Amino acid sequence: MRPLDTNSDTEKIQIEIFRRMEPQKRLESAALLSETCRTLLAEGIRKRHPNYNQEQVRLAVIRCLLSEDLFLRAYPNARNILP
């Protein structure tokens, strides 16, 4: 799926750069992107819920990543934690 903020020529260049990367470097890039996304997600939760402590923010992030059913089965005492 093409990013909404990237034109097709730029996307082709990005794809070619990723194809030329060594597998380890691609994995490192993916891990960094994942960590960046989680950090941004946590910051958004902190802004929406300034009263949340670190554990509540962590649970809210997890709630965004899991299905609702799985989250509630894994963390039944966290029903009131909202993202």
Size (the chain), residues: 83
Q: What angle do CA 17, 33, 45 make, to 5 degrees?
A: 155
**pLDDT tens digits, residue range 29-67?**
999 999 999 999 999 999 999 999 999 999 999 999 999
**pLDDT tens digits, residue range 10-34?**
989 988 999 999 999 999 999 999 9
- The mean pLDDT of 68-73, rounded to a whole number, is 98
What's the confidence (pLDDT) of residue 2? 66
CA–CA distance, 42 with 56 (Å, rounded to integer)? 10
Token output for 83: 């993202």
The proportion of the chain whose per-residue pLDDT surpasses 90, expressed as a percent, equals 83
Number of neighbours of residue 47 by Cβ within 10 angstroms: 8
CA dihedral 72, 68, 66, 48 (to 10 degrees): -90
The pTM for the full model equals 0.77
Spell out the domain ranges in the chain: 40-83
